[in-house]
Structure 1
Amino acid sequence: MSILVGNDTKLAVAGITGREGSFHTLNNRRYGTNVVGGVNPKKAGENVEGIPVFANWEDTVKESGANTAMIFVPPPFAAASALEAAQAGVELVVIITEGIPAHDELKLYNTIKRDHPNTRVVGPNCPGILSPGKANVGIIPASFFKPGNVGVVSRSGTLTYQIGNELAQAGFGNSSIVGIGGDPVPGSSFVDIIELFEKDDQTELIVLSGEIGGSAEEEAAEYIAANVSKPVVGYIAGFTAPEGKQMGHAGAIVSGSAGTAAAKAEALESKGVRVGRTPTQVAEIAIEILKG
């Protein structure tokens, strides 16, 4: 198995006609993802290398049967496009767009949770989801990864790539890689994705890659202790980050002792999660557990 994306994924892309949208959509298709359509009201009726473009999400779902949406449209319009996809019945919405206003993210999160509980949102500001050998939805460099039994969930795309690549070089692959994004209001949390990995038969070990800011890792630690039987290995980026300064992602900022890398690592380790201090050490711990 895999989680969220796989052989049954039917992907449609908002922003497919833009430079970034078309580049990554075609990359996803080359990987083997079933790309069934795109959305652009100004270019409905056209196609991108054979992929039909529709005027809106309702038409896209009706004509193509899309069950997964990828959002590449500019920040002022991205949340509205994601909500439109949910209203059309899309089951999974992956928002790649960075820089969406936090109040738009919060409104989107609350509206979908209230009105469209059967739709899952991943992102915004995320690299997407990869199930090696099956489907790639997003901007993850799929060549770094191979099929296996390690599930990865991360707030950072580049750290995900490094950890996954080191596992692959050691002979281990991944069931799925999920980038939840680094914004203050993510559509899916660590807990949401870890719950899916716990239920996934292919996944035997879970890697959680977090960073400073917020309380998502502490919440994950509590959930893991109460609900997860599989081994979990953690990493927290930002041990040397200065207090009060945003580091990279919009959600990566701490004040006082709350949200620091040390506090997050302590919370995870107190619940039995081994935490590596570098991505390389994380991979080494995971390999040690898998071999054992």
Structure 2
Amino acid sequence: MSIFLHEHSKVIVQGLTGSEGTKHATKMLAAGTRIVGGVNARKAGQSVTINEQDLTVYGTVAEAMRDTGAEVTVIFVPPKFAKDAVIEAIDAGIGLAVVITEGIPVHDAAIMWAHACARGNHTRIIGPNCPGIISPGKSNAGIIPANITGGGRIGLVSKSGTLTYQMMYELRDIGFSTAIGIGGDPIIGTTHIDALQAFQDDPDTDVIVMIGEIGGDAEERAADYIRDHVSKPVVGYVAGFTAPEGKTMGHAGAIVSGSTGTAQAKKQALENAGVKVGKTPTETAE
């Protein structure tokens, strides 16, 4: 079993005809993902051949869902168009929207999330500015390399894309039920807590790895949730122990103010909840 994405998930790609969409759709298909079409209003009715598979390009998400039964969309749309693309997916009622695009204005992300809430949260948003989600050997929705690990019984949730990949590689001999990169922007759709809850409920996940980073209080809130609701073992890593205070580090959400949001404060909160926290990714894997 896996969370949010499985081997039968039917996937469309918004932005399939763009260079990034085509490149990563090729890799997703090679990983076994059931891609059933793409969306680009300007190229509706055309088809794209990838890995000897002809994929129809639809004018809207609603049309693609109607004709293919798609349940998941992966969005490779430039930042200035991303808000409209996500809102279109929400209005169509798709179950999962994986927003890879980085550089989406925070105001746009707030509108996207508010729209999803207003529509009853029928559409789960992963991202934006994230690597996506993979259930190794089953399906891959996003840009996570599929060849660095296999299936197993570890659940991984991470703010950082590259640290997602490193942890998957470090634990490749054990393998993962699902790995999900939630993104590091200030406003994201799926949180650490959402993933922790799903892994706790997944009978094929035995242990959870949680990767956070400096800035905000998401990890502290996740620690409270783990203490009260998670019975499975959790190990963690927090990026940014050497980051200077008051400086934005990489992700827009990684801003430290005084002692709030520091790696040490997050490490302490997690350890107080019974989470073993490594000082490096390798130590965390060990």
TM-score, normalization by structure 2: 0.97
- Check conservation: 2:152, 2:176, Cα contact below 8 A: yes
What is aligned with 2:247? 245
What is aligned with 1:70? 74
- Check conservation: 1:86, 1:116, Cα contact below 8 A: no
2:30 equivalent to 1:19: no
Helix, strand or coil at the partner of 2:133: strand
What is aligned with 2:129? 125
The whole-number CA distance in structure 1 between the counterparts of 2:159 and 2:135 is 17
What is aligned with 1:163? 167
What is aligned with 2:285? 283
- Check conservation: 2:90, 2:119, Cα contact below 8 A: no
What is aligned with 1:59? 63
Helix, strand or coil at the partner of 2:63: helix
What is aligned with 1:222? 224
Q: Residues 1-292 of structure 1: matches in 2 within 5 Å?
A: 1-49=1-49, 50-168=54-172, 171-284=173-286
- Check conservation: 2:233, 2:275, Cα contact below 8 A: yes
The whole-number CA distance in structure 1 between the counterparts of 2:47 and 2:60 is 14
- Check conservation: 1:102, 1:185, Cα contact below 8 A: yes
- The list of structure 1 runs, each at least 4 consecutive aligned residues, that deviate by more than 3 angstroms after superposition, is none
Give, in angstroms, the shift of residue 210 of structure 1: 0.4
Helix, strand or coil at the partner of 1:220: helix
Give, in angstroms, the shift of residue 119 of structure 1: 1.1
The whole-number CA distance in structure 2 between the counterparts of 1:35 and 1:105 is 26
Task: Look up the equivalent residue of 2:144 and give its one-letter code.
Answer: I
The whole-number CA distance in structure 2 between the counterparts of 1:240 and 1:48 is 46
The whole-number CA distance in structure 2 between the counterparts of 1:215 and 1:130 is 26
- Check conservation: 1:87, 1:116, Cα contact below 8 A: no
Task: Look up the equivalent residue of 1:212 and give its one-letter code.
Answer: I
Helix, strand or coil at the partner of 2:93: coil
- Check conservation: 1:72, 1:95, Cα contact below 8 A: yes
Select between 79-88 and 177-186 the one with higher mean Cα deviation: 79-88
- Check conservation: 2:153, 2:206, Cα contact below 8 A: yes
TM-score, normalization by structure 1: 0.95
Helix, strand or coil at the partner of 1:121: strand
Q: How many residues align?
A: 282
Q: Which runs of 5+ in 1 are unaligned?
A: 285-292
The whole-number CA distance in structure 2 between the counterparts of 1:257 and 1:215 is 11
Instruction: State, as a whole percentage, how many aligned pairs show the same letter.
Output: 53
Give, in angstroms, the shift of residue 192 of structure 1: 0.5
Q: Which runs of 5+ in 2 are unaligned?
A: none
The whole-number CA distance in structure 1 between the counterparts of 2:149 and 2:107 is 35
> Which of the two has greater helix per residue?
1
Give, in angstroms, the shift of residue 116 of structure 1: 3.5
Select between 148-157 and 106-115 the one with higher mean Cα deviation: 106-115
Note the alpha carbon deviations across 1:84-125, whole angstroms, 9 max, x for none: 111111000000000000011011111101214221000000
What is aligned with 1:288? none
Please, what is the CA RMSD of the aligned residues? 0.7
The whole-number CA distance in structure 2 between the counterparts of 1:9 and 1:237 is 32
